[in-house]
Structure 1
Amino acid sequence: MNIQLKTQGVAALRPLTGKVSLVTGSTSGIGLGIARALAEAGSAVALNGFGIAAEIARTKDQLAADFGVEVSYSAADMTSPEAIAEMIAATVANHGRLDILVNNAGIQYVAPLDQFPVEKWNAILAINLSSAFHTTRLALPAMRQNKFGRIINIASAHGLVGSPFKVAYVAAKHGIVGLTKVTALETAEDGITCNAICPGYVYTPLVEAQIDSQARAHGISREKVIHDVLLAQQPNKHFASVEELGSLTVFLASEAAASITGTALPVDGGWTAH
């Protein structure tokens, strides 16, 4: 009985033991936070993204050392369907399976619609939306083979509401929510779920740099930038953390969320409750 209880306790602490996760755009920021949460929950992790090779190697080794899981890395360019196909194939070959796909890779650009550079529109749609289509279509055979899969798309509050000057980002994130619903419907009988997480502002090093630059540009305090500019639409006036998003991802990837599919879950401090 004691052995059984101990085993159940370990399973509860590390509910994703034996699973394999691929997180796109996971060498920093939100993606890395999600990768850490999945590894802590017992999943092997395949990282993806750009960065300095030595730093990525340290991140990979640190994850493996901290959580005792296998960690691999792909430098696949998310604008290239061929590179994405190679990444999915390598993940399955290296780890023997693919259970959890987190589509997190994304970029941003801000400009008025009639001045929005065409090349920026194309790049944002390719990385923020089309890459998720390609990873999903290519991951489904491995998931269907094991009759288990969790696809978690990192959308945005901008997948649910619009904002000026972000035409490509808003269009792509609305598309991600639509992709999530269709994927959920097509895989509903296969042991696979698909959900979108829709964060508002999340505190990352990139946001920290944005706070400082806006404070200098407008001649106002950091606190005013945070309260009146960045978090103007978030009623709780509080950044979400990468740890919050990681915990929600782990829950959605677990057996406890087996009946949750096709949803778009806001993590936005009340932004979309307006």
Structure 2
Amino acid sequence: MNTVQVDLTGRTALVTGAGSGIGRATALRLGRSGARVIALDLNEEPVREVVAATGGEAVVADLSDLDALDALHLRADIVVNCAGIQHVRPIEEVEPEKFSLILRIMLEAPFRIIRGCLPGMYDKGWGRIVNISSVHGLRASEFKSAYVAAKHGLEGLSKVAALEGAPHGVTSNCVNPGYVRTPLVDQQIADQARAHGVSESEVLEKVLLSSAALKRLVEPDEVAEMVLFLCSPPAASITGASMVMDGGWTAH
């Protein structure tokens, strides 16, 4: 799926969570468009596979270690904050440390990365920040308090970056997919099927996609194409937006 045509030769793109799912698809797509990719992930082997295909640089890092992240001095023209984890529990059963961990990875780490990269973008008069949010950045679901809180916070951070970056040629947007065919979602489907004693197809149709008009998972490559579009000249006036790819979930 190479539908968006953008020449990113000479640009450097930092993609977090680049070892799998949306992050991997995005890193590969930006690389095919000419960007030098800095692929960051917690797991070494998959991120090195991405770099072997795209060129660029593999960075193995734990985004929950904020001081170590700052010490990397990461700089890029394009930032795609994609890394994330999930934890499904009622609020009263969520461990406070788990809540804090999710916010560090999915909100504080993007802030640190954006903060570090903005001066270089400002100097060049061009930059693109794309935060992979979620339909859960716009809507809530039961039992996902930390994830929903982190994604709602990311939406706010993205909008502030859009307002501050506009005079410097920097745009900042969120991409908001529904459920995407990723290892994270595959595990949720399997877990719920076991917990409720039903088939995985029933979980997909009656739980995950119950609110969507289109009864299918979003593909990682579809999200990657949206990210690339936001780096293109026709998207230069799109900033502070939430690009929804939820199959009609939020149309209700």
Corresponding position of 1:79: 64
Give the deviation of 1:207 after TM superposition.
2.5
Give the deviation of 1:14 after TM superposition.
4.3
Corresponding position of 1:243: 221
Cα distance per residue 1:179-231 (max 9 Å; x no partner)? 01111001111010000011110012332343334334333233212110221
Corresponding position of 1:67: none
Structure 1 gaps, min length 5: 1-11, 65-69, 93-97
Residue 18 of structure 1: SS of its match in structure 2? coil
Give the deviation of 1:174 after TM superposition.
0.5
Corresponding position of 1:95: none
For 1:140 and 1:54, how far apart are their aligned partners in 2? Answer: 29
Residue pair 2:6, 2:232 contacting (<8 A) in 1 also = no
Among candidates 44, 47, 50, match of residue 59 of structure 1:
50
For 1:231 and 1:190, how far apart are their aligned partners in 2? Answer: 40
* 1:261 correspondence with 2:239: yes
Residue 104 of structure 2: SS of its match in structure 1? helix
Among candidates 147, 156, 161, match of residue 169 of structure 1:
147
Residue pair 1:14, 1:40 contacting (<8 A) in 2 also = no
For 1:20 and 1:38, how far apart are their aligned partners in 2? Answer: 9
Residue pair 2:122, 2:168 contacting (<8 A) in 1 also = yes
Q: Greater shift after overlay, 29-38 or 222-231?
A: 222-231
Residue 168 of structure 2: SS of its match in structure 1? coil
How many residue pairs end up in the alignment?
249
Q: Greater shift after overlay, 207-216 or 74-83?
A: 207-216
Within 5 Å, which residues of 2 pair with 1:15-26? 15-26=7-18
For 1:73 and 1:242, how far apart are their aligned partners in 2? Answer: 20
For 2:180 and 2:188, how far apart are their aligned partners in 1? Answer: 12
Q: Which residue identity does 1:58 align to in structure 2?
A: E
Q: 1:211 to 1:73 in 2, by over 3 A?
A: same
Q: Which residue identity does 1:128 align to in structure 2?
A: M
Q: Which residue identity does 1:42 align to in structure 2?
A: G
Q: Greater shift after overlay, 176-185 or 211-220?
A: 211-220
Corresponding position of 2:120: 142
Residue pair 1:153, 1:197 contacting (<8 A) in 2 also = yes
Cα distance per residue 1:40-59 (max 9 Å; x no partner)? 111110011122x3443333
Structure 2 gaps, min length 5: none
Corresponding position of 1:271: 249
Cα distance per residue 1:3-49 (max 9 Å; x no partner)? xxxxxxxxx84421221100011111111011111111111100111
Q: Which residue identity does 1:176 align to in structure 2?
A: L
Give the RMSD, CA atoms, in angstroms: 1.6
Q: Which residue identity does 1:75 align to in structure 2?
A: V
* 1:117 correspondence with 2:95: yes
Within 5 Å, which residues of 2 pair with 1:1-274? 13-51=5-43, 53-61=44-52, 63-64=53-54, 70-87=55-72, 89=73, 91-92=74-75, 98-274=76-252
- TM-score, length basis structure 2: 0.93
- TM-score, length basis structure 1: 0.86
For 2:199 and 2:12, how far apart are their aligned partners in 1? Answer: 44
